[in-house]
Each structure stands twice: as structure tokens, then as C-alpha cells.
């Protein structure tokens, strides 16, 4: 349990080349899934961010918060409405989304980073008119599609020494508020920032050659190979849109995109500061 | 209805000495009451802020949001609890407060400022560990008393060219979240910023020599005279704590504190940019 | 006479989009004609400049001063000399020009801006070797033609927070001093500065479709249309060289050039900060 | 005539300690007298200034211009008026003073510095409200007494890399213009700038123990000794006010004040960059 | 041998509070003894420095180099000379010292830091006239006593992002070069820099209550207690001057001074980035 | 012997255009040969550098030090070894080279500049990994060929106000140290810095049309003409590699390269600050 001093020194020294490599670079972390539900994992992720920021990485956290939205909707007795089988986000719902994301999840994450000794500022896409959006489909109401990302507020926060924590709520030209898919928002934000890396935290070990067999993990993937794997059906179901986000991020100029397992404690640190890659890396 | 060009020019020119006077100065505006309920007044206030910021005043907006909190509590069927006749803010309630203030009211105000062409960032006392607080009274739960205000995040936002919009939610050493009285928070924030002015928007014309008679408005007041008026009972009821906030702000070094009538459209502009003082000024 | 508070607020609010539009932009104002003779108009113009500078416009004032030159020549008993029907500017005359412009008019304008609470520095084309010129025609003596404009001194004054007030006296490679036409100088200076706008103050309402009929004012004009109007004789007499200056300024990259009526009090403010365009705008 | 290379190298090397000593220091030069009348001397002085500025000294030139004023008054047929034996400066006269100083002498000096390859900006006390003054004696009209010097415009010009050339015209609270004695102005400006040195160019070799005998030159003088010499009558006539200016400059914090002989070519260079002090130094 | 990922993450996270504590602080490391002789230890020390610099500590390395000096003297057949039992450093010897320290040891250390990916610049006390010294005792020749330390060159290197590596060679007013004791130099340099910490690398575990018994290590010591221990003879022999350096550094304002065992690999990292203090800390 | 004041002033004034011309420009001086051996010449060169730096030239000194290397080798009894008739630089030799250059010559020059009142920092190619090299020929050992020059450390020193003094020792990817030819290093450094001039100090008057006849000095030479003169045998022997360095420097973008006679005192000053070119200039 107590780690000997030599081991500690060894671990720190082995991190040096990675610290040098990422110094001053922007890493966008899409935070979600189980890593967001367990108290312990949440604490580990916030610690990882704080450490990375402290050693000179420019860290940006992008989060959704499905469970918190559902929770607030249930509390307010708001019934889900469907149109042609799709969930409708009416004005009242998008207000609850805004409250749950920008009011609850966002500030809770900022609070936790502070407790780790980090300095964070919580933003949403409305702040500084950062995420501009329009309705994706009139029938779905305030489900938004990103029309533009203005990275200036994030860059300003980074320049002032804060970790920006971003809720994926967008705003329209007319002031309407939209609920934005967090994976898509992370992809756009990483692209607009010219980020060096985008790390997508998921509830899977990464992309597997065979479903359910973690030992068939594909550790590295080019865009063209990823497209092929979707076509071949190796990547399927919920991994398809996630893979599309990864591909798009690469196309928007992000150097490396990682799908990592958010269920592993300190997965981010392990991915960034050690030679043990976990998950799948897109180039 | 159409204002002649000469009149326009005259008004603009008459504003010049006030623009010169407030250039680069910090004005904290405590926003609340009816000015926050009427759509029209809300729009007018956000326009006023945007204009002041645009001509070089460093504007900070501090807001509460009682009605929005009540609204969310009702929607979630949360029953008010009392201890010794005082409202208790349990953990669930303070979460609703956080959502209503930092998630709803705050971002809505930011959104409106954007629609006026201004650049705003919404913060709460958790961001950058800005408002530190502790429980005021154990029995009341998460009703907070400010222990310290760190003005740095506000100064950083001002330096980056944003109008900071601040929700009065505070955080404790242990990460607890507290509901903070907005008048008190505004007083502390103005003091910590070394603000030139603090403007308290209320639902009264100011301090009246005789209750209910607007023509007995006291336009200027020293701290000692204010203390005396409280003692004499001229200032009474809800105006007493508000007056105490004004007095404390002056004692914390704010040069001028104004109580103005938020029910008058563009009351802020009129107070700041014209020679027509409205409301009561504390020196 | 006393303007009601609501009207004042309304006027100020309606100026907001214009203040936003011109923030940080360079506006060069060519000042001359009747606006320069009436004490009242002079005061209004200086007030306009000060207000524009105060709200963030980078204002540059370029002036001539025919009447002051004539006045000094008369006082010194200097007889005008002509060569082939053109006025000759001998060495003694150009010295009087320099004194009248750079010594009298220029510093008087600076003085007036100070009285409005503005900060101005008076320069002429000799300062920082700003306006380089050569003789336009040997027979005319020291009547100069601009060979180059170095905008650095003006940019330095703007950066240091001053309103630069520029006399249109130029200097030659050999140190000779030249009298420069103020309209031409304004055109060159606006071009060299990459100004957003150039405002030419004249004694006419702008370009009229029919001479002497103000209600035939052409409010907007493209360069090609202006050339055509000259060809057609609609623009004639003294308006031809002025129109050429406007056209050249546009060709040098100035976005918008205005011919406005300097006889209207606060014509500049009305043009820049209200939706009432007065005069003719070239694009 | 042709100076051998070794001699040149030797002279340059011997200047090194003086260049090091004055690097970044402010030297105010009061320019007047014969040095201003001879074309050759004028050229030498402007060359000296340019060289000093080029090697890193922060040079400020303050000038009067009696002969140019007289010349313009004669040309305009303006008769001198006296009140109780003192020359009266009426409004018309002060306008001529302003034109002769700020329009003629000032810009001519700027022009000459440019010809030496230096960068200069000509200012007068009106620019940036630099020299504030009031009437010294109502009966004398616009003869000014300095009430305040704002050194900011000079510091701004120095920071932007220009040699400020200052005409000693002052302005009153109400916009009146005053003629200011140049020695007094130089003393005030050097004091307000916290100058390291003030060099007064005169038509004498310095302070002499015996009138008319240059070999009785006093090379160094303390303030108390100077006061004593005035009392003893050794310093007399026109040297008394000049000596008072020197004494006052020292009292305002200027480290060293020099009275040098402006009739010697390159007297400034010799005083500043060689070990041959010429003239009298006050400490 | 292979450290599991969780252990790595744990070690990195446990370093976070120390990284936060030392961020931007100056740590001076006096390097010498066995840590300088073993290739492996040398590599470990340079790695430690590079890592600390990379995570935001402002690291300064001060070194001597007795063995290298002795080696060069032997190679050149230079015989040690003694006067009254003390070693005499004649001109030839101090030249060898300068070559061995500033030419050999210094640049070798810089080279090693480069190989770790760090950026270093090697200086000695002659560079930028950093360490001024005089002869300690005429009979000893060029053995120097520090008269002044100018920390500017070190601060300039830190500001430009380099790790300054400093040889303890000093220079006199007349250009003489002196050999300076490295412990003393480190103490003076740490003081002049206002360093947060000074770490003295030695060949002992620290200060022991009983000679030769490492388990009697005193982990913390106040200045007064240290003085007492010298008086009591607990601190004796070669530890006395070293202890005096520690005491003096504290008196010069260094917050914490550490004597650590340079024979332990990564002793610096362990001391700075873990909760395991090794060696003795003076406060 | 005593130079009259007027002559001094004249010399200083005549230097003005040259000071203006070189202000802010980078001049690299390759220092070597006799100018390095005579105490008097050494002092003159350091004075020249200090003066040039003081008046705003960005001076860089690059030096070798053959005699000092030979001297140290002799002292240590190191026998020269040859392979195929070429001198072999084994590990021990390159260590002596490093000590003699970076430890002795370099710091002595820095020391002398300090005595002239200048601020210098001594660097070698190892500092900041400035000169990267590889073995030129395996059989010759550590004789290096430059693979890359990183000018950043020199630019950082210049920006911090120091005169960089550079020893031509290089380092390899693996940390090996190499002895670099100083002429070649100067050429590469001047090129990498985008220097305005490179001055090569030699023991000849420059390039002569006829060997041994100084009056056949070629004062100006184009690259193509220089190539031709080598081909024609006019340039021969040791002047061939030197000429190649000059040609290469021009090709790397240096504007002017001078071969001057280091045996003439203050040759640099005379070349740079007077109209008397000495030596040969390549364009």
C-alpha cells in the first residue's frame, strides 16, 4: 500500500517526456457515462484534470449530463413527449436541461476541481455566444445542431489560467436555447480550438474487433480504416455516432482523438502521462 | 415619437461629462425585484448594461432570483420547511437554488446581453472559488454567510472584455453550496472590487421621508444620517437591511451607493448618464 | 427645452448599435468651411470629436484654414502674386501659412478639445516627417503635392490616447515647407491609416441631383456612379475636386466616405451615432 | 582637416563612459539666444540633439523665440504697449506669439531634426493641456505664470521614440493662452519630468567671478553658493533670473543644471559626451 | 519491475499538492559531493531538475567541482603550495579552477540537462558581473570572499525559460578572478534571489544526533536550535561550515533550507514532490 | 595628444549617420588571430563591442582560441596524434578544448567587457543546445561539422540586454562534444541570426590583388567575383577557406561581410562608425 520512494521517483521521471510533449498543448476531454456517476471516478477525473493543468497542459472539459436531466424532469413530473418516435424537447424541457447542465452538473464539476486545488470557470454555450445552434428538426423542438463555435471565451479562460468547464447548451440567433449532443459539441470545440488531443470518455474499453471481448481492442486507427470498420459492421450501434465524432474531429484538425474507458480510475492520466495507452487512438 | 436629430445630438452631448466621469470605473449593479419580472424592464436593464460597458464603464451584474427559485420548488413539489419560524434550506433545496440561479436566471441574463450586442460571461460564487461562505445558522441548513470574496475571477472577466453576471451562490471550504442573500453579496463584491459605485435596483423610488409619498424622496444621504433615520424609524421594514447593505458598501470603500427604482425603464442610464439623479444616493 | 428622462434614455439606447459598430475604428474628419468660422459650430464639432473619442472611436481631425491664412497675410500687408492666373506661394507666404495653420488654427482646436475634456495633440505634416511633398508646379512656389504619407505619428498619438489634430503643411526632402490642399491631405491620410470612414465637412448638404435643391440630395453613391455624374455635369464646379477626393479615398481602401453639411450643428454625431444619415455617402 | 582614423576611434572610445552614464536619462535643453539665430549653430544644436537621442539619451528641447515674435509683430505693424513701464501682451499679441512660437520656430526645429535623421514632434503647452498658467499681473494681459506642468505628453512622446520639441505657450483653465518665459518653463518641465540634467544655452560662457573675464569662469556651484554670489553682486543683471531658474530646477529635483555658452558649436555634445566641462554646473 | 498503471496514477496524483505548492517558486540546488561523481546519480539529479523546471518550479543549479579541479591540476603537474598551512591559489591555479568549473563541469551539466529534454544555460560569477568578490586573505591568493551577488542574470535566464547552471567563480573590481566556496555561493545566491528553498546535496543523511547513526537523523531544525547543537558539539567537523551556510541562508530570507543525501537517487524529487522528507530541514 | 573639443564634436557628429544605420541591427564579429593575442588590441576590441552595444547595435562575439588550446595541451603534456596526416581530436583533447575555450577564453572576454562597463554573457554551443554538430570524419575523432544552429539563446541574451560571447564548441545528438572551426561557426551563426553584418578579424589587411602588397587591397567584392579570384589563384592558401566562409555567409542572407585587419587598433569602430572602410567588403 505504501509506495516506496524509489518507485515514486521512477514514476515521476517516466512521466517527464509526456509532460514535455503536452506542455502548452490543448486537450479537450469529453466527460460522460459511468465516469460521471461514480463519486470515486468523478473525483479521480477532476484530480487528473487539475494535475494536467498544473503541469502546463491547457485542459478543457466538455460535459453533458443525461442522468441529471432525467432526474430533474422526473422531479418536476415532466412527461417525455414523442413525435414520430423521437423525443421532443419543448421550451419547458430545454429550460430544465439548461438548469440541470449549466446550473447543476457544471458548477458541481467546477466545485470539485476547486477542492483539488485547481482553478475552474464553468461556462455554457450561451456565455460569450460560444455555441451557436439552430433547430435540428422543427418537430423535435429545441434539439440543436451546431452552426458555429466561437472558441474565444475558452481561450480567454485558458489565458487567464482557468480550466474551462463547458456545458453543451447552445443558443440561436434569436436567443433560443438548444440542447446539444455532448459528443458533437466536444468534436466542434476541439476543432475550433485547434486542440492537440480530444479524449472521449466512454463506458467501453475502446473499439473492439469482436463485441464483448476486451482483448480484441484496436489500439490505433486511421480515419479511413475507421470508415471501413463501420461499413464492415465491426463498429456498430452506439459506437457508430461516437466514431463519427472522432473522425470529424480529426478532419477538423485535431491531431489525436482517443476513446478511453471512463470506468478505469485515472484513465486520463494513464493515457496522457504514461506509455501505457489504454483505449483506441484515432489519427 | 420620432425624436428630432438636434435633440438626439443634444442628449448625446449632455452625456459626455458623465461618460468621462465613469470611464474605466467599476459599477456593480444589484439586479432584482420587479425590474427582473417584466420582460420589457429586463430588456431595458440589459440594454443599459451593454451601453455602459460599450462606452468604457466596467459593469458587473449581481443578481438573485427569488421567483425563479420558488417556481422550481413548486414544480418539483418541494415543500418549504421551517425551524423556529425560519425557512430551512436543506441539501435538496440548495441544489434547486443553484439550478434556478446559476442555470436559469444567470444564463438567461447573459443571453439577453448577447442579444443587445454585448459580451457577457455568467459566473456564480463557485466559479474560481469566488464567494466563500459558511452556514449562517446550523438549523437553517445551507443559508450562507459570506466569509470571503475573491474578486479575481470578476477582474479577469473584465480584463478580457466581458460583462460578468454573478449568481449569488457561495461555496464552503468543504465544497458545500450555500444560498446567499443577493443584496449582501453585492455589497461584499462591490467592496472587494473597490467599485466606484453600487446601484441597488429596488421596487421603491428610494428612501422616503414619509412612507408612500414619493415626493418626500431623500436624494442624498450620509452614512451617519442613514443610521439616524433607521433609529428614528423613518427607514423601516424591508428597507432596513437594504440600507445596512448600502452603509456597509460605503464602509468597504465603495464611493457612491444608489438605491434606485427598478420599475422605471432605463433607470440605470438615467442615474449614470444624465444629470437627473433618481433615487437615493449614499456617500 | 428640458428633455424628459425617457427621451434621453431612448436616444442613448438608440445610439448603442452605432457605438458598437464604430468601436476601435478610425474616422478621419476633414474640417473646414463655415463649420470652422462660427464659434458655435466650432464648439459643436469639437464636442462631437471628444464624445466619439471617449466612446472608443479613434478620431483624427485634419484641417486647413484659408480664412486665418488670408487674415494673417492681410495683417502683414502681403500682396497676393499671380503667375499665369494662379496664386503664387513664395517662401514668405508659406511661412505665414505655416504660422496660421500649425501655430494658430491647430492649437486653437486642440485647446477647444481640452475644454470639452478631451486629450488632443496638434501636429502638422512636418512632425515625424508625416506628410512628404514636392512642388506641384515650379511657378507656383511652395504649393505642394503629396509624395508620401507616413501614418506612424498619428498611430502613435492614437495609441497613447490622444486625438491627433493635423495641419496640412507638408515638407520636402530638402526641408522645404509646402502648403497642401486639406481635402487632398485628408484623403491621403485616411488611406494611409486604413481608416474606416472619412467625413468631409462642407458648406453644402451633399451632392444634389439638381443644384440648389436640397431635397434632391443623393444619399448614397458608388464610385462608378460618381464618375458618371461628373461626366454628366450633375456634379460640377467646386464639387468636382471634392468628389475626386472622395473617390480616391475609396480607392485607397477607406470603407465609407461622407460629404456632410458642416453648417448643421452636430452633423458628425448625427451621421455617426444615429440612423439619420445626412449628406452623401460614397461606397 | 581630415581627422585620422585612430583619432576618430580614440574620440569615440572616450565618449563611452559618458554614453553609459546618460543612457536612458532625461536631459532637458533650454534653447535660445545666439545659438538660435546663427544658421550654423542651429544646425549644430539639432545635430547634437539627434545624436544624443540616437545613443539612448531621452532628450527634450524647450525653446522660446523672442526675435521671431518681434519680427512677426513688426510685420503686422503691431505697436508694443506699456503699462507702468512693462510690456503689455494683449489678445492680439499673444496670438502672434502663439503663431511665431508654436507655428514657426517649433516646426522649423522639428524640420531640422528630421533633416539630421532624427524623429521629432513639436508640442506647445496647449497640447495635452501640458502647461497650465494664469495671468501674472492683470495689467500685463496674457503674460503667464505657470500653475502646473503635466509631463505626460512629453513622456508619451519619449516612449514612442520621438524628441519632444516644446514651445513655451501655456493655457488657462478657461482656454486663455499665455506667453510663458522660456527659462522658467524649462525649469518647471525639467522638474516635472524628474530630469537628470537641465542645460540652459546662453550667450555667456557661464557664471564669471569677474564680469567680462571668461578666464574667471566658475565651473561648479552649489545652490547655497549661488545664492551667496547673487547677494554679493557677483551674479548680476540678466544672470540673476537665469540663476534663479537653475537654483529652482535643482530644488525641484533635477540632479545637475548647466549654463553653457550657446555660441560655441556643439557645446551640448562637448558638455555631455566629453570630459571637458564648459560653462557652469549647478548641483 | 514494471509498475502497474494504478500505482503510476496514484504517485502522480499524490505529487499534485507539492507541484501546486512549488509552482513558480525558486529552488536553488547546491550540487556537489558523491552525487556529482557517480554517472548514475548525476543523470538522476539532472533528470530531477528538468522535471521540476518542466512542471513550473524555477530551478537554479549551483555547483563546485573539487575533483575536476584536482584532476586538471594533476594533469598539468601543478604542485599545491601552502602558506601557514593553508592552500595557496595563485594566478595559474585560479585559471585552472576557472577552466575546470566554468569550462568543464558547468557545460557538462548543461549538456546532460539538454539530453533530458531541458533547456539550460551555463553561467559563472563573471557573466553579467554576477558574483563580486575580493581576496579573503592576501596570503591565499585568489581565494575569494563574496562582496555582492547580482541576481539579475539568473533572473533573466529564468524569465527566458532556461535552467541557470552556475559555476562559483567570482570576479573582483579590477577583473581578478576568484575561486569561491560553492556552499557559501549557494547561500548568497539563494538569498539574493529571494529563493523559496535551498537544497544542499551532501554525502550525509543530514544532521544526526549521534555521529554515524542514520536513525538519529534530525528532520527539522530551527536556527536557534542549530546554533545550540554546534555549541553542544552535536554538529561537528565539516558539518559546522555547512550548517552555518544553512543558517545564513535562512537569515537572508530563504524560507526553507534542506541538507539532503546526494547518494540517494532522486533525492531532490523525493524531497520536493513527495511527503517523505529525507534529510534535515532548517526553518 | 589632447584632442581639441571641436575635433571631438566633429568626430562624434560624423559618426551619427553610421549610428543611425546600424541601430538595432545584428553584427556578428568573428574574433581571432593577433587581435586576440595582444593585450592592448584585446582591450580595444572589447571597448569597440561595448561602445557599439551601448549605442544600440546588437553585437554578437564569436571566438575560437587556438593558442589557448595549444597552451593547455602542452601544460597537460598531451601529444598531438595524427591519422593520415590529419590531427586527431580524441575525447581527452576535446575536453581540453572545451575547458580552454568555454572556460578560459570565453569568460576572460566576458570579464573584459564588464571592465569596459558592458554587460556580457558567455555561452558555448552546448548552452541551450545552440550548435548541433556531428563528426566530420570518424578518423579525426571529435572534430565537428555543424548540422544545425539554434539562434534562440543568442536572441534571448540580446533581448535581455547582454552581449553574447560564443565559444565554438558544438554538441551532438548523443551529447558528444565537438571542436568547431570558428570561422565556419561565425558564418552559420550570422546566417541563422539573419545578421546585417559579419566582421571577420584576420591578420591580413583584407584580400589583396598581389600578395604582400597592402596597397593592392580590394575594398569591395561580389560573391561571383570572389569565386573567380579563387579560381584565378589571386586568393590562395589560408585565405581560401576564409573567403568561402564569407561567400557562404552572404548566401545565408547576411547583407555584408567584412574581412578586416585585427592588428589595427579599433578596426571594428573604424569600419562600422566612420566612412573609412578598412579591409574587404563582400556583398
| Cβ neighbours, 10 Å, residue A148 | 13
Report, as residue numbers or ranges, the catalytic residues of B: 30, 33, 66, 183, 242
Q: What is the pLDDT of residue D33?
A: 85
Q: In what order do the strands lie in the sheet with F280-282?
A: F120-124, F163-167, F58-63, F26-31, F197-202, F256-261, F280-282, F220-221
Task: State the first-to-last Cα distance of chain E, in angstroms, to the nearest integer.
Answer: 38
ipTM of the prediction? 0.95
Answer whether F165's CB lies under 8 Å from F207's CB: no
Q: Residue C30 catalytic?
A: yes
Q: C64, C122, C125, C183: which one is catalytic?
A: C183
Q: What is the mean pLDDT of residues E34-61?
A: 95
Overall average pLDDT of the C197-204 stretch: 96
Does C10 lie at the interface with B, CB-CB under 8 angstroms? yes
Kindly list the residues from chain E whose CB atom is less than 8 angstroms away from the CB atom of residue F160: 156, 159-160
Q: Are F179 and F216 in contact (CB under 8 A)?
A: no
Please, do chains F and C touch (3+ CB pairs < 8 Å)?
A: no
pLDDT at D238 over 70: yes
For C129, which residue in chain D has the nearest alpha carbon?
D114
Instruction: Tell me D35's DSSP state.
Output: G
H/E stretch holding D201: strand D197-202
Q: How many helices (H) and strands (E) does chain B have?
A: 10, 14
- Would you say residue C82 has pLDDT above 80? no
- Tell me which residue of E268, E51, E163, E161 sits closest to A55, measured CA to CA: E51
| pLDDT of amino acid A172 | 97
Using pLDDT thresholds of 50, 70 and 90, give the confidence band for residue F227.
very high
Residue pair D13/F51 in contact (Cβ under 8 Å)? The answer is yes
A111, B72: Cβ pair inside 8 Å? no
The verdict on a CB contact (< 8 Å) between B127 and A121 is yes
Q: Cβ–Cβ of D104/C123 closer than 8 Å?
A: no
**Residue A123 banded pLDDT, cuts 50, 70, 90:** very high
CA-CA distances (angstroms) from residue B86 to B81, B137, B138, C251, D108?
A: 8, 10, 12, 73, 81
Which DSSP helix (H) or strand (E) runs through D194? none
Q: Is residue F123 part of a domain?
A: yes
F26: three-class secondary structure by DSSP: strand
**Mean pLDDT within F118-130:** 98
Residue D135 lies in a domain: yes
Better-predicted residue by pLDDT, A12 or D80: A12
C31 in any annotated domain:
yes
CB pair distance less than 8 Å for A107 and B114: no
Q: What is the pLDDT of residues C227-257, one digit of tens each?
A: 999 999 999 998 999 999 999 999 999 999 9
**pLDDT score, position A84:** 73
pTM of the entire predicted model: 0.94
Instruction: Find the CATH number of the domain harbouring F222.
Output: 3.40.1160.10
Question: What residues of chain F lie within 8 A of the CB of E110, using their CB?
Answer: 126-127
Q: Which residue of B has its CA nearest to A75?
A: B76
DSSP label at residue E88: E
- φ, ψ at B216 (rounded to 5°): -100, 20
Domain count, chain E: 1
Strongest mean pLDDT among A66-70, B29-33, C185-189: C185-189
Q: Per the domain annotation, does F248 fall within a domain?
A: yes
Nearest to B270 among C8, C16, C270 (CB): C8
Domain that holds residue A38: 24-65+102-124+151-168+180-282
pLDDT at C86 over 80: no
Size of interface A-E (CB pairs under 8 A): 115
Chains in contact with chain A (at least 3 beta-carbon pairs closer than 8 A):
B, E
State whether residue B60 is helix, strand or coil: strand
Q: Are β-strands A256-261 and A220-221 bridged in parallel, bridged antiparallel, or unpaired?
A: unpaired
Does residue F1 carry a pLDDT above 70?
no
Using CB atoms within 10 Å of the CB of residue A232, give its burial: 0 to 12 exposed, 13 to 18 middle, 19+ buried.
Answer: exposed
Q: What is the pLDDT of residues E99-115, one digit of tens each?
A: 999 999 999 999 999 99
Of residues D198, D111, D188, the one with CA closest to residue D147: D188
**Window B:43-82, CB contacts with C under 8 Å:** 44, 47-48, 50-51, 54-56
In this complex, the residue of E3, E15, E19 whose CB is nearest that of residue A7 is E3
Angle at B107 between CA B106 and CA B112, to 5 degrees: 105
pLDDT digits 0-9 by tens, E168-202: 999 999 999 999 999 999 999 999 999 999 999 99
Q: What is the mean pLDDT of residues C205-234?
A: 94
| Chain C residue numbers touching B9 (CB-CB < 8 A) | 44, 48, 265-266, 269-270
The beta-carbon neighbor of C5 closest among B3, B16, B276 is B276
Q: In the sheet that D220-221 helps form, which strands lie side by side, from edge to edge?
A: D120-124, D163-167, D58-63, D26-31, D197-202, D256-261, D280-282, D220-221
B130 touching A (Cβ < 8 Å): no
Shortest Cα–Cα distance, F208 to chain D (Å): 21
Residues A17-40: what's their mean pLDDT?
94
HEC string of chain A equals CCCCHHHHHHHHHHHHHHHHHHCCCEEEEEECHHHHCCHHHHHHHHHHHHHHHHCCCEEEEEECCHHHHHHHHHHCCCCCEEECCEEEECHHHHHHHHHHHHHHHHHHHHHHHHHCCCCEEEEECCHHHCEEEEECCHHHECEEEEEEECCHHHHHHHHCCCEEEEECEEECCCCCEEECCHHHHHHHHHHHHCCCEEEEEECCCCCECCCCCHHHECCEECHHHHHHHHHHCCCCCCHHHHHHHHHHHHHCCCCEEEEEECCCCCHHHHHHHCCCCCCEEEC
Q: Does residue B82 have a pLDDT over 80?
A: no
Asked if F162 and E112 come within 8 Å (Cβ–Cβ), the reply is no
- Evaluate if residue B1 carries a pLDDT over 70: no
pLDDT at D277 (0 to 100): 79
From A57, A2, A10, select the one nearest A269 (Cα to Cα): A57
Asked whether residue B165 is assigned to any structural domain, the reply reads yes
Q: Report how far residue B136's alpha carbon sits from residue C2's, in angstroms, rounded to the nearest whole number.
A: 50
Other beta carbons within 10 Å of B283: 12
- Identify whether A122 is a catalytic site residue: no
As a whole number of Å, the end-to-end CA separation of chain A is: 38
Instruction: Give the chains touching D; criterion: ≥3 Cβ pairs < 8 Å.
Output: C, F
Could you report how far apart the first and last alpha carbons of chain B are, in Å? 38
Give pLDDT, residue D1.
53
Could you tell me the pLDDT band of residue A1, with boundaries at 50, 70 and 90? low
Q: What is the pLDDT of residues B176-190, one digit of tens each?
A: 999 999 999 999 999
Q: Does position F99 have pLDDT exceeding 90, yes or no? A: yes
Instruction: Locate A117 and state its grid cell.
Output: 486545488
Half-sphere exposure of D37 (CA within 13 A, CB side): 10
The pLDDT confidence band at residue F33, using thresholds 50, 70 and 90, is confident
Q: Is-contact A138 B139, C-beta < 8 A?
A: no
Q: How far apart are the first and last CA of chain F?
A: 38
**Is A268 contained in some domain?**
yes
Inside any domain, residue D7: no
Whether the CB-CB separation of C252 and C193 falls below 8 Å is answered with no
Q: Is the residue at F4 inside a domain?
A: no
User: How far is F134 from F122, CA to CA, in rounded Å?
Assistant: 23
- The three-point CA angle A46-A52-A55 to 5° equals 140
φ, ψ for residue D257, nearest 5 deg: -125, 135
Residue F135 pLDDT grade (very low, low, confident, very high; cuts 50, 70, 90): very high
User: Of the candidates B240, B88, B60, B247, which has an alpha carbon nearest to the alpha carbon of residue B179?
Assistant: B88
pLDDT band at C136 (very low <50, low <70, confident <90, very high): very high
CB pair distance less than 8 Å for F9 and D116: no
End-to-end CA distance of chain D: 38
Q: Does A181 touch chain E (CB under 8 A)?
A: no
8 A C-beta contact, residue F101 and residue F178: no
Residue F40 has pLDDT above 80, yes or no: yes
Question: What's the grid cell of residue A198?
Answer: 480530444
- Mean pLDDT estimate for chain D: 94
Question: In the prediction, which pLDDT does E1 show?
Answer: 53
Please name the residues in contact with A122: beta carbons below 8 A apart, sequence gap of 6 or more. A102, A106, A107, A109, A110, A165, A166, A167, B102, B123, B124, B126, B127
D261 is catalytic: no
Confidence (pLDDT) at F87: 75
- Output the pLDDT for position E173: 95
C-beta separation of D146 from D180 below 8 A: yes
Q: What is the mean pLDDT of residues B211-226?
A: 93
Amino acid at each position: 500500500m505504501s509506495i516506496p520512494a524509489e518507485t515514486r521517483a521512477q514514476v515521476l521521471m517516466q512521466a517527464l517526456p509526456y509532460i514535455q510533449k503536452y506542455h502548452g498543448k490543448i486537450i479537450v476531454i469529453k466527460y460522460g457515462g459511468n465516469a460521471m456517476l461514480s463519486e470515486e471516478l468523478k473525483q479521480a477525473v477532476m484530480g487528473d484534470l487539475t494535475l494536467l493543468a498544473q503541469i502546463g497542459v491547457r485542459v478543457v472539459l466538455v460535459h453533458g449530463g443525461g442522468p441529471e436531466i432525467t432526474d430533474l424532469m422526473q422531479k418536476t413530473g415532466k412527461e417525455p413527449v414523442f413525435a414520430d418516435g423521437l423525443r421532443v424537447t419543448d421550451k419547458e424541457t430545454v429550460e430544465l436541461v439548461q438548469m440541470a447542465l449549466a446550473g447543476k452538473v457544471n458548477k458541481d464539476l467546477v466545485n470539485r476541481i476547486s477542492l483539488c486545488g485547481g482553478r475552474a470557470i464553468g461556462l455554457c454555450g450561451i456565455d460569450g455566444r460560444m455555441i451557436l445552434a439552430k433547430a435540428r428538426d422543427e418537430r423535435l423542438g429545441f434539439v440543436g445542431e451546431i452552426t458555429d463555435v466561437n472558441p474565444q471565451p475558452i481561450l480567454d479562460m485558458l489565458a487567464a489560467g482557468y480550466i474551462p468547464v463547458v456545458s453543451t447548451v447552445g443558443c440561436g440567433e434569436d436567443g433560443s436555447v438548444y440542447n446539444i449532443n455532448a459528443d458533437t459539441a466536444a468534436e466542434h470545440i476541439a476543432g475550433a480550438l485547434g486542440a492537440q488531443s480530444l479524449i472521449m470518455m466512454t463506458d467501453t474499453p475502446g473499439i473492439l474487433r469482436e463485441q464483448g471481448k476486451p482483448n480484441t481492442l484496436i489500439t490505433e486507427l486511421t480515419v479511413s480504416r475507421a470508415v471501413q470498420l463501420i461499413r464492415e459492421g465491426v463498429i456498430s450501434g452506439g459506437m457508430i455516432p461516437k466514431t463519427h465524432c472522432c473522425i470529424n474531429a480529426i478532419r477538423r484538425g485535431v491531431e489525436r482523438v482517443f476513446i478511453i474507458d471512463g470506468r478505469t480510475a485515472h484513465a486520463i492520466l494513464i493515457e496522457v502521462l504514461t506509455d501505457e495507452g489504454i483505449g483506441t487512438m484515432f489519427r
